[in-house]
Amino acid sequence: MNRLRQRTFLAIALILVAIGFLILSVAGFLQPVETTILRPVSGVQTWIAVRYNAIRDLLRSPSDITELRQENARLEAEVARLQQEIINLREQATEAEILAALLNYARSQPDNRYTAANVIGRDVSPFLRSIWIGAGSEQDIAQGMPVVTERGLVGRVAEVFATTARIQLITDPEASVNVEFQTSRADGSLSAQLSGELWVELIPQDVEILVNELVLTSGLGGNFPADIPIGSVLSVRRRDVDIFQQAVIEPSVSFTDLDIVLVITNFQPLPFDQVQ
């Protein structure tokens, strides 16, 4: 009986401690403590993540085709870069036409500045879709900054600590991105389903959306820069009784194989809470 009482007191005390941490955290008082704890933890995390990724890659491919794989990776990167260039050029051409029509050549788009960061972990909760990167406020990463790879949009910075940051992926149901279709120029709002499937909603009914059409960020709303590729149209759901049509998107980024990402550091986003 005495032991049970001791255990009960201990459990109550520990739960009260946890509740205390929860309250302090919600009030924002624990940020320095979390940063201090995360600094050594992220070091270990980076060390393990780099080695785990190397072992994973090694196990995935037979050793005799390693060179071919490296060459293939280089060529894939080159293709991705060229695809990005084509997208940019097409965008520039379309934009140029519109701008010419409007006699407005004055608009200029500043070049993005990037900070590369290793993906050092994923959210430990299976219910959330976010990743951890090995760069934080010491590398000038700030909350709300967009995160991309050479293939397209990954997400945006949700939480920042000194040496790490948590990135909310665009496949998280809480994420929302304003997008436009490259050919039809229609606007819409990208949101992820609980299954991780990406849908573009709020597309006007009078626009013809083509399968395989590229979907880019529109820049509307101020949470992402314009013209970052997101993916291509997989299928379109259009019913006459609805006000809007929907499109299912196949993302250009493979979210399961993220090793390195780029954070766009010169983009001034709206405050994260405001966007949420």
Partner 1 sequence: MLGYLLGIPLMILLAVLQSSVVSEITLLEGQLDLILVTTVAWSLAGRSKDAMVLGLIGGLLLDLLSGMPFGSTAIIYVGVLFLTSLLEGQFWGGHLLLPPAITLLASLLVYSYQLGMLYILGRQVSLAYALPRVVLPSTLLNILFALPVYHLLTSLFHRLFPAEVQI
DSSP state of 127: T
- Residue 77 CB, shortest distance to partner 1, in Å, is 22
- Residue 141 CA to residue 121 CA, distance in Å, equals 17
- Residue 57 CB, shortest distance to partner 1, in Å, is 12
Nearer to partner 1, 35 or 218 (CB): 35
Q: Using the rule CB under 8 A, which residue among 84, 149, 163, 168 binds partner 1?
A: 168
- Residue 127 CA to residue 196 CA, distance in Å, equals 11
- Residue 195 CA to residue 173 CA, distance in Å, equals 9
How many Cβ atoms sit within 10 Å of the Cβ of residue 77? 12
156 touches partner 1 (CB under 8 A)? no
- Residue 239 CA to residue 236 CA, distance in Å, equals 10
Site map (CB under 8 A) of partner 1, residues 196-215, x = contact:
--------------------
Compute CA distances 16 → 7, 12, 46, 252, whole Å: 14, 6, 33, 46
Number of residues in contact with partner 1 under rule CB under 8 A: 49
Q: Using the rule CB under 8 A, which residue among 25, 88, 109, 266 binds partner 1?
A: 25
- Residue 176 CA to residue 170 CA, distance in Å, equals 7
Site map (CB under 8 A) of partner 1, residues 123-152, x = contact:
xxxxxx-x-x--------------------
Residues that bind partner 1 (CB under 8 A): 3-4, 6-8, 10-11, 14-15, 17-23, 25-26, 30, 34, 37-38, 41, 44-45, 48-49, 52, 56, 120-128, 130, 132, 158-159, 166, 168, 173-174, 194-195, 256
